Amino acid sequence: MLNKNLAFDPIKDFAGVSMIGAAPAIVVVPSALGVSDLDAFIALAKVKPGQLNYGSAGVGTATHLAGAYFAAQTNLNLVHVPYTVSSNIISDMLSGAIQASFDPLAFVLSFLQNGSLRALAVGADEPVTEPVKIPTALSQGVEYRFATWYGILAPVKTPKPVLQTLADAFATASRDGELQQKIKAQGIGPEIVALGAFDSYIDGDLAQLAPLVNGIAEKQ
């Protein structure tokens, strides 16, 4: 939607086979910022419009959209800082150069555990209970749900019996306990959504983000 020069249409040229999981965005700030919950962060951002920065892995990436969507949902003026090296997001949060990021749990977990970063909320319906505890944004009065989903797509002209065989194989694999634990260790919640339901899920996700993405595209 942002890159108009692709040799293919990322929507029309593919059929959903199966979603395998989703990693909800975590609202993360440096502990040194001195805010302990989402209300305090929002209050700080409102008295300092355009002065709080959030980092992402680049323009149009999931972490960019996660932050931009949070800003839109809370009516905040947050400044986006795109990075080409994702690890620099962490170092700049620790130094105070940026004040927030919106990342999957696995990316920030060790820093949450050592106390240098603080997780204010998770953009999901359910809180994170392990290996750290993170309340939902919803429980703090903020309508914010955002997740990076992971799934399998195939060329749109793939015969339906082949798509069904692939979907069945992923459904079978998803029931393997060891595989589920490996997925969860990456901060991803295992979730199988197959074939037509996955296509509908993608369409809904695109519809939700279209105004946001179009706004970003206009600024490029």
Q: How many residues does the chain have?
A: 220
Give me the helix-helix angle, 195-219 and 160-174, nearest 10°.
90
Distance from CA of residue 124 to its chain's centroid? 10
pLDDT at 218 over 90: no
Q: What is the rounded distance in angstroms from the CA atom of residue 4 to the CA atom of residue 11?
A: 12
Mean per-residue pLDDT, 130-135: 91
Please write the tens of the pLDDT for every residue from 160-189: 999 999 999 999 998 888 988 888 877 788
Q: What is the rounded distance in angstroms from the CA atom of residue 111 to the CA atom of residue 106?
A: 10
pLDDT at 1 over 80: no
pTM equals: 0.86
Tokens read off for 201? 């899920």
Tokens read off for 192? 């199988």
Please write the tens of the pLDDT for every residue from 50-61: 999 999 999 989
User: Containing H/E element for 21?
Assistant: strand 14-24
- In this predicted structure, which of 20-29, 37-46, 91-100, 193-202 has the lowest mean pLDDT? 193-202
Cis peptide before 30 (omega within 30 of 0): no
Q: Which pLDDT band, with edges at 50, 70 and 90, does 3 fall under?
A: low
- In this predicted structure, which of 64-78, 115-129, 152-166, 185-199 has the lowest mean pLDDT? 185-199
Q: How far is CA 48 from CA 38, 42, 141, 198, in A?
A: 15, 10, 21, 41
Q: Which pLDDT band, with edges at 50, 70 and 90, does 210 fall under?
A: confident
